[in-house]
Amino acid sequence: MYKLDPEGDNRQTFKTLHKYHVTRVVLDCHSDRILQYVAEAEAANLVNEYEHFILVSMDTSTVAEKLVKMPCNTTWLSITQYDKLKDERHYLATRVGNWYSEQEVPSVVQFKLEALILDDVANHLVKALDLEELKDQAQPPSFSCNGDAEPWAHGAAFQKKILETQTYGVTGNVQFDQRGRRINYILYVNEIHVKVRQTIGTWESANATDIVSTTKYTNGVVNQQSSKEFRVVSRRAKPYFDYKEKCEGDACKDDDPNEKFEGFSVDLVKNIIKILREEENYNYTYKFIHDKDLDYPGLVKVLLDKKADLAVCDFTITEERKKVVDFSVPFMTLGISILYTQDKEVKPQMFSFLNPYTFEVWMYTATAYCVVSIMLFICARISPADWENPEPCEKDPEELENIWTFKNCTWLTMGSIMTQGCDILPKALGTRWVCGMWWFFAVIVCQTYIAQLSASMTDALENEPINSVDDLAKQTKIRYGAIATGSTLEFFKSSKDKTFRKMYETMQANPAVLVANNDEGEKRVLKSRNKYAFFMESSTIDYKLKRNCDLKKVGGELDSKDYGIAMPANSPFRTEINRAILRLKEINALDKIVNKWWFEKYGAKKCDQTTDENDTEGDLEMENLIGAFVVLVGGLGFCMVMTAIEFMNEVRNIVVREQVTYKEVFVKELKASLNFFQLRKPVLRNPSRAPSVASSLGSDDRRERQAKAIEAFMDLEKIVQ
């Protein structure tokens, strides 16, 4: 409560009221001060189509003509009826004709209530005195001014007749009860609304609990507001409100603002305006205002600052918000549900053991196996160290043997990748490098396969199904959250249910689970891999499910709430907006708008909740193992170089030992090595050279051994005999 100074400046007081978004002001002052205070309130931006002044003075009608010219919404009571008094000049001229000429007589509404009541009282007394039985007794007895007055003998009778007499004057019915109190009178509720003066209701003393509304008020206000342009604000969020694809950024900055946006909110506003134009004959228009991305508190602030007339989006009607803004009738009913990742039902497969790797990885691995086996086979044929003496006892063999057939090579590579090993191993440096690189690759591939398979099996065992909010509240592995500034979190905060209160405390204890908007919540659900659940309005969940088959809605709705169009408090357009929304519901236009933006626009699709055999979600792809393949290819290239060096070094040794040409040795050795169908090759010798001492000694030794073997065989024959 603030006290106004009649002689001072009260603008600071009205600025304070404006700062705190006060929309209804009760002004108790003399009628002569009303215009002064309203002008000061207007200077403080407290006078517009949303603020309302309730004037206590019953003489407000004396300044009503001037108040109509000001952008001020006012309400006051009067005992006189405005529509009747404005035509009472002739009556007043008759009453006060001795004082004024007919042209100078002021309007009745310019007289104070006190003067009008005195006039009615005088008429009432005259009528009481005109009664037949009091005519002869109307003269009071004489009395002395200096002496004691004697009571009038007919005073009691005259008082009784005054109480019993009933008259009708400027202030309405004049009648009294036995105690002398006025009864059966009517007070009129007057209002100036958007520069239109109306008597909007009546209050009868006989029925003090009810105010009867008139039918003229609504029509009068509507006619004055038929050219209003609505300033509409919304929150950027699909499918309610967003830029058109071609207008993202500043692409359409010079175009009509209404053509830059699209969505459910835009179509809803268009249809409301269409209803008002066609069915109510209003010339209403609209203009979307969107300077930046707003959250829910931002939308409320825009309405409180009177910078917009309507806020249309997924705006939940709550008791807290209704304290500061007005809402239309609901245009959508919904509830809070849980958004979670889809637990797809996997079809049983014969080759499910292949799931840890994608088909591409398996094909590259099989190709690597074949390439390594072939390279091992070729290197083993070319490398001199892998050609061995078939007769270990023969010091100077005529032929050399190679045990590395293609079958043995494939067996070695298979045993390595299966972690089983092999009984034979290469001896040459080049072939050992081939095996080493393959073993390195096999370790990476095998261990990764085992880890991936174990992880998928463990996830399947540890993945606790969530079927309701109770399941979510009882467990601790899956975190859950909501929008930090939305009505969803407020629902948990104000709930009396112990489970919901506990969940609210859990979310407050870990603010990281709270997000800024629904899109961020959706991303966290998808990224968490069944480790995060998000509370969201069911209507928005239905929209998300139609565009991402990896999501699902868990359980039923936790509550029931409504979306409505928000307006500044005391909005004069609320009735018209409500009527338009109800009409849209009647003709099913709202359902058509919902179907358009939920099930047709923005890439809506039909989801299959089961996976097929080609679903590779979670499998390791080639990008995950590309490093191992690169190392293997590099290693094989190095092995080829090492094998070539070994081969050339052996050719050089033979050239030096046998004294033959380099070309001859190279060609013969290469032909013998690449003859893949021969497991043995002759030792290259120079036929023109004499056998060496070593060779002679070798021949003598062979003959000696043969002789001893024959002798031993003969002795064995004798023993048998």
Calculate ∠ Cα 283-284-287, nearest 5°.
140
Query: Which pair of tokens denotes residue 641?
Result: 């170089």
| 643: nearest Cα among 434, 442, 469 | 434
Helix axes 622-658, 429-462, angle to 10 degrees: 160
Integer Cα distance of 106 and 92 in angstroms: 8
Please give the annotated binding residues for L-glutamate, written as ranges.
316, 321, 487-488, 537
Whole-angstrom CA distances from 203 to 182, 187, 214 are 15, 5, 11
Amino acid at 127: K
Burial class (CB in 10 A: 0-12, 13-18, 19+), 714: exposed
Please give the annotated binding residues, written as ranges.
316, 321, 487-488, 537
Integer Cα distance of 456 and 461 in angstroms: 9
| 24: nearest Cα among 1, 57, 67, 53 | 53
Q: Is 144 left (phi over 0), alpha (psi -120 to 50) or beta?
A: beta
SS3 165: coil
Integer Cα distance of 263 and 543 in angstroms: 13
Calculate ∠ Cα 390-369-419, nearest 5°.
80
SS3 453: helix
Provide the terminal-to-terminal Cα distance of the chain, rounded to the nearest Å: 144
Contacts of residue 473, Cβ cutoff 8 Å, sequence gap at least 6: 499, 502, 503
Hunting for tokens 């189509």 — which residue is that? 49
